[in-house]
Structure 1
Amino acid sequence: MSKLLFDPMKHPEWIAPQTAEWHANLASEDGGYKYPWKSVLDEPRAEVILADKIVEFLNENARVLDVGCGHGEFTKRFAHKAKEVVGIDIVEGYIASAQEDTVESVSFLTVDADTPIPFPDDYFDIVYTKKGPWLFHKGIEEGYRIIKPGGIVLGLHHCGTDGGLRSFFPGLYAPFPENYLDDIKMKFELQLSESNLENVELQIFEEIEYLSSPEDVLIKKCFGQKESLKKIVWQECLKDVEEIFHRHATPKGLRVVNYHVLMFGIASQSA
């Protein structure tokens, strides 16, 4: 049986990912939602798949909303390809970072997506989220209010990483529950079925990533955590992680698999 590694999630300093505290710490220490580990990604990359899908529907008159834009790097890809691109996020630190390097036709606002969004009815041609809030839940009208009838809705969500990672580093990484991907599919299928969108599509796909070094295994695990906890994890785990990494790594690095869900729909013409 493989040795159980130190589990940082059981430490009192662990911050649950995607919580307000986690985002605030990430914005304070890193300035944005930026992956700090080094790796190589095989094509097709998840962000490229989403970007290509968005570009399919862009034109010089389009207005685009990025919900949960983080530090705005992805949002700025669409500068000069649309009439207006707006990024919103609840984390002020992310928006401050996004506004440091302004781009023509792109703007950023601190907005809580659970409150009224400060734009007129039928304003946006495309509303998308990349790992952020989904505005088209059953019983929530704000997404339908701000998108034009016939407008495009997209959502990309990261659903975890495995491909051997969780068995290579037991304790540090916990195994997925049985039927994990089937449950994920059911969850997002239900979300789409309740969304009142037309022509809905759901795609679950794998993104192959090669982590460059043993340190990157720990950086990935401790993404968004405080520096004080990271020091403890390095002290407790690095020696074991180095041995395991070099045993399983390929010439490109340690191969892992990222799972993503891509949702697509069209706002009802009769909404």
Structure 2
Amino acid sequence: MPKLLFDPMKHPDWIPPQTAEWHANLASETGRYKYPWNSVFDEPRAEVIFADKIAAYLKENVRVLDVGCGHGEFTKTFAHKAKEVMGIDINEEYIASAIEETGESVTFFVVDADKRLPFPDDSFDVVYTKKGPWLFHKGIEEGHRVIKPGGIVLGLYHCGTDGGLRNLFPGLYYPFPDSYLEDIKAKFERQLSESNLEKIELQIYEEIEYLSRPEDVLIKKCFGQKETLKKIVWQECLKQVEEIFLQYTTPRGLMIVNYHALMIGRAR
């Protein structure tokens, strides 16, 4: 068992990922929600699978809503594949990046998805989110209000990374419990069943990724954190991470496994 590494999550400057503060820090630095580490993937990637699932429901007369669109790169994938595609996000800097080079069939708006949406009833044929807010939790009406009866709802959520990463770098990462995948599937089964949607599909995908350099282990861990904390983590961890990385890397890089949950439902 390797020696415990420095745990950045215990540092007072650590920002819990996916919080408003975390997104604000990331947006202020780059204006984009985009992974900065170097890696390669075995195909198909989870996001490619998700994009194909969405595309299967698109036609010329379909209107689409991307909830939590970030800087809009994924949203623009569907330009000219539907009548209209709209992306919404609460972060103004993400949206400022998104509206650069926007095509005629894609528009972006700063919108708080936790409040009433600025769209009429029955506005969209397809509503999806990629790691963003899920508008169909029990007791939340806005998703059901803006989607047409029979409309399609899709969600893709990153459920963590393992594949040895959490055992190879203890302290920096923490191992999953043995029941992790079963617990994750049960969580999303419950979320889908409580959404008052007709279930079409629920899948947990394993995505194989190869980190290119020892630094990418730290970049992945510190994604969205402040530069001051990143410097501390590099000083405390890089040497030991390099030793472990070189011991276990493959010709393609250090293999890890990302887990993603895909949900598809139909509005009643």
Same fold, TM exceeding 0.5?
yes
Q: Are the equivalent residues in 2 in contact too, given 1:249–1:255 (CA < 8 A)?
A: yes
TM-score under structure 1 length normalisation: 0.97
**Which runs of 5 or more residues in structure 2 are unaligned?**
none
Cα shift at 1:8: 0.6
* Aligned match of 1:60: 60
Cα shift at 1:100: 1.9
* Aligned match of 1:170: 170
Alignment of 1:214-229 (within 5 A): 214-229=214-229
Cα shift at 1:205: 1.1
Cα shift at 1:178: 3.5
Alignment of 1:106-145 (within 5 A): 106-145=106-145
Alignment of 1:1-271 (within 5 A): 1-268=1-268
Q: Which moved more, 1:196-205 or 1:147-156?
A: 196-205
The whole-number CA distance in structure 2 between the counterparts of 1:178 and 1:240 is: 27
TM-score under structure 2 length normalisation: 0.98
Q: Are the equivalent residues in 2 in contact too, given 1:33–1:70 (CA < 8 A)?
A: yes
Moved over 3 A (4+): none
One-letter amino acid matched to 1:57: Y
Cα shift at 1:104: 1.8
Q: Which moved more, 1:194-203 or 1:109-118?
A: 194-203
The whole-number CA distance in structure 1 between the counterparts of 2:160 and 2:109 is: 29
Q: Are the equivalent residues in 1 in contact too, given 2:192–2:199 (CA < 8 A)?
A: no
One-letter amino acid matched to 1:173: Y
Q: Are the equivalent residues in 2 in contact too, given 1:192–1:200 (CA < 8 A)?
A: no
Cα shift at 1:186: 1.0
Cα shift at 1:90: 0.8
Cα shift at 1:132: 0.4
Q: Are the equivalent residues in 1 in contact too, given 2:50–2:156 (CA < 8 A)?
A: yes
One-letter amino acid matched to 2:4: L
Listed one character per residue, the Cα deviations across residues 74-106 of structure 1 (whole Å, up to 9, x for unaligned) are 000000111110000111111111112212210
The whole-number CA distance in structure 1 between the counterparts of 2:175 and 2:105 is: 44
* Root mean square deviation of aligned Cα: 0.8
The whole-number CA distance in structure 2 between the counterparts of 1:11 and 1:177 is: 24
Q: Are the equivalent residues in 2 in contact too, given 1:135–1:142 (CA < 8 A)?
A: yes
* Percent identity between the two aligned chains: 79
Cα shift at 1:61: 0.9
One-letter amino acid matched to 2:35: Y
**Which runs of 5 or more residues in structure 1 are unaligned?**
none
The whole-number CA distance in structure 1 between the counterparts of 2:154 and 2:260 is: 13
SS in 2 for 1:136: coil
